[in-house]
């Protein structure tokens, strides 16, 4: 068995990618943000204060004949941008791209921070990182993919995200026609609960490859490519008008600049992010914000949407490995 669901950018800046998910019986369809950087499936619901839920589609467990409350269970999650949400837990049937998982933990939000209240492009997140990162207490719950994987033709899923265009999340199969180059696989380290891998070098534009070991995660839930300061400074050194803008908390440059590409090693191959994807978004007038920014020494680098857009990414749970193919 397999599943295939389209995704689309949430706005003109590709801030996040949205996929419609069916929950319950009869189906309640919610636009959700698939997030390989976290492990909770949580939704705006009938239990979310109505002032917070305004503008969001909600899940109403009482209207689903297949919903069951998980008694005594709760969850609470805080992300690196200090956004957060928390609540209680139901199980219900969750269908993605035609593939149904029964008894999926659906975490109902009784509290959501303003970042999520204001972001009406999603009604919650589908966490697709490893089960160990799930926040439900007292009993950790499994991700939708973890529950699905034993029934899928292959225990894999792929992410195909595109700039201002539809893409796909495919489950149980790899559509290699989505890529222009071969898939290179690298092992993941599972200790932190992420799809975490090491990249040995990088290159800027057509320049020579520089040895620099990056410990990073493939994260569809983070918009930008966040790497060590040394790499980021070296990149913007090549951009005439670039400067670090304290108010924007990142590098900005003149929108008309022709930005160099950025390449990172994946095993013995490299993935090249075209400069056009690094010209991320206008901030004001003729100043643009970079899609490559510092990971602020958080101890891990984040290959977010800006990097993933350049590739077909294979999340292979069966073999505990990550595959990257140039698009």
Where helices occur in 24-100 by DSSP H, the ranges are 50-53
| Kind plus residue range of the DSSP H or E element containing 12 | none
The nearer residue to ligand RB9, 128 or 148, going by C-beta atoms, is 128
Q: Single out the residue of 25, 54, 62, 81 in contact with ligand RB9 (rule: CB under 6 A).
A: 81
Q: Which of residues 14-43 bind ligand RB9 (CB under 6 A)?
A: 16, 33, 35, 37-38
The nearer residue to ligand RB9, 13 or 254, going by C-beta atoms, is 13
Q: Residues touching ligand RB9: how many (CB under 6 A)?
A: 17
Q: How far apart are CA 35 and CA 208, in angstroms?
A: 33
| Kind plus residue range of the DSSP H or E element containing 53 | helix 50-53
Smallest gap from residue 26 Cβ to ligand RB9 (A): 27
CA atoms within 13 A on the CB side of 103: 5
Q: Which residues make Cβ contacts (< 8 Å) with residue 125, sequence separation at least 6?
A: 32, 33, 34, 35, 38, 40, 41, 42, 221
Identify whether the C-beta of residue 312 lies closer than 8 Å to the C-beta of residue 327.
Answer: yes
| Closest C-alpha to 25, from 111, 90, 88, 92 | 92
- Asked whether position 55 contacts ligand RB9 by CB under 6 A, the answer is no
Q: Which of residues 285-324 bind ligand RB9 (CB under 6 A)?
A: 298, 300, 302
The nearer residue to ligand RB9, 9 or 221, going by C-beta atoms, is 221
Q: How far apart are CA 145 and CA 94, in angstroms?
A: 11
Smallest gap from residue 161 Cβ to ligand RB9 (A): 14
Beta strand 68-78 with 84-96 is: antiparallel
- Asked whether position 83 contacts ligand RB9 by CB under 6 A, the answer is yes
The nearer residue to ligand RB9, 33 or 92, going by C-beta atoms, is 33
> Given the rule CB under 6 A, which of 77-85, 166-174, 202-210, 278-286 is the region that contacts ligand RB9?
77-85
Q: Which of residues 170-229 bind ligand RB9 (CB under 6 A)?
A: 219, 221-222
Which is it for the CA torsion 135, 311, 313, 238, positive or negative?
negative
| Kind plus residue range of the DSSP H or E element containing 55 | none
Measure the CA dihedral 296/298/302/305, to 10°: -60
Closest residue to ligand RB9 in the complex (CB): 80
Residues forming the active site: 35, 199
The nearer residue to ligand RB9, 174 or 288, going by C-beta atoms, is 288
Which residue(s) pair with 312 in the sheet? 325
The nearer residue to ligand RB9, 153 or 298, going by C-beta atoms, is 298
| Closest C-alpha to 291, from 279, 282, 302, 303 | 279
- Asked whether position 80 contacts ligand RB9 by CB under 6 A, the answer is yes
Smallest gap from residue 250 Cβ to ligand RB9 (A): 10
Smallest gap from residue 320 Cβ to ligand RB9 (A): 19
Smallest gap from residue 158 Cβ to ligand RB9 (A): 18
Binding site for ligand RB9 (CB under 6 A): 16, 33, 35, 37-38, 79-81, 83, 115, 119, 219, 221-222, 298, 300, 302
């Amino acid at each position: 068995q397999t599943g295939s669901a389209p995704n689309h950018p949430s706005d003109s800046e590709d801030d996040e990618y949205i996929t419609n998910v069916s929950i319950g019986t009869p189906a309640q369809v919610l636009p959700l943000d698939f997030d390989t950087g976290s492990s909770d499936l949580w939704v705006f619901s009938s239990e979310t204060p109505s002032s917070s839920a305004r503008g969001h589609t909600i899940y109403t467990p009482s209207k689903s004949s297949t919903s069951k409350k998980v008694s005594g269970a709760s969850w609470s999650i805080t992300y690196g941008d200090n956004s957060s949400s928390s609540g209680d837990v139901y199980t219900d049937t969750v269908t993605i791209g035609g593939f149904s998982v029964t008894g999926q933990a659906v975490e109902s939000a009784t509290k959501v921070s303003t970042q999520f209240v204001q972001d009406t492009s999603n009604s919650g997140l589908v966490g697709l990182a490893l089960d160990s990162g799930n926040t439900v207490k007292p009993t950790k719950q499994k991700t939708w993919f973890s529950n699905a994987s034993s029934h899928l033709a292959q225990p894999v899923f792929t992410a195909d995200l595109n700039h201002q265009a539809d893409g796909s999340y495919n489950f149980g199969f790899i559509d290699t026609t989505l890529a222009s180059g071969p898939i290179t696989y690298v092992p993941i380290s599972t200790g932190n609960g992420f799809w975490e891998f090491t990249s040995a070098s990088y290159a800027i534009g057509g320049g020579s490859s520089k040895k620099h070991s990056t410990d990073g995660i493939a994260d569809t839930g983070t918009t930008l490519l966040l790497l060590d300061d040394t790499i980021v400074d070296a990149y913007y050194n090549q951009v005439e008008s670039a400067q670090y803008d304290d108010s924007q908390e990142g590098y900005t440059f003149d929108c008309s600049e022709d930005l160099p590409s950025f390449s990172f090693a994946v095993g013995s191959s490299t993935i090249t992010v075209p400069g056009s994807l690094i010209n991320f978004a206008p901030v004001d007038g003729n100043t643009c914000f970079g899609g490559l920014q510092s990971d602020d020494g958080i101890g891990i680098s984040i290959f977010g949407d800006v990097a993933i857009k350049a590739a077909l990414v294979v999340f292979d749970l069966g073999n505990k490995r990550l595959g990257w193919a140039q698009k």
